[in-house]
Amino acid sequence: SQQGEEDPQALSIQEGENATMNCSYKTSINNLQWYRQNSGRGLVHLILIRSNEREKHSGRLRVTLDTSKKSSSLLITASRAADTASYFCAVAHSGNTPLVFGKGTRLSVIA
């Protein structure tokens, strides 16, 4: 499969803790994207990291990309109850092919 595989499938943490989610893929990519989905809603784009980038930040989000290991991680620092959602990685492979989404990580932040 060309899709990204997220790990863990589910994660439960206390408010204020950091949350780390990982995404692995199998073939070369143009970029990797992270999305968030609140229950019963559409996905919202969080961050895009290109294959020649190693780290990007956006507010409390930090994304890293290791192309040698074909993996990416999403770190949410100082989590809040409002961060409770599912988080998906999506890989954009080289060439003219659609984004491929993984199955997601369900994050629960307990107040």
Partner 1 sequence: DGGITQSPKYLFRKEGQNVTLSCEQNLNHDAMYWYRQDPGQGLRLIYYSQIVNDFQKGDIAEGYSVSREKKESFPLTVTSAQKNPTAFYLCASSIEFSGRGQQFFGPGTRLTVL
d(CA 90, CA 35): 8
Nearer to partner 1, 31 or 67 (CB): 31
Collapsed DSSP state (helix, strand, coil) of residue 27: coil
Taking a C-beta distance cutoff of 8 angstroms, is the pair 104, 5 a contact? no
**x/- site string to partner 1, residues 14 to 53, per CB under 8 A?**
----------------xx-x------xxxxxx--x-----
Taking a C-beta distance cutoff of 8 angstroms, is the pair 53, 62 a contact? no
Name the minimum Å distance from CB 34 to partner 1: 10
For CA atoms 95, 28, 1, 88, the dihedral sign is negative
The residue within the footprint of partner 1, chosen from 19, 49, 88, 109 (CB under 8 A), is 88
Paired tokens of 111: 């107040």
Rule CB under 8 A: say whether 80 interacts with partner 1: no
Residues found near partner 1 in the complex (CB under 8 A) = 3, 30-31, 33, 40-45, 48, 88, 90-93, 96-104, 106
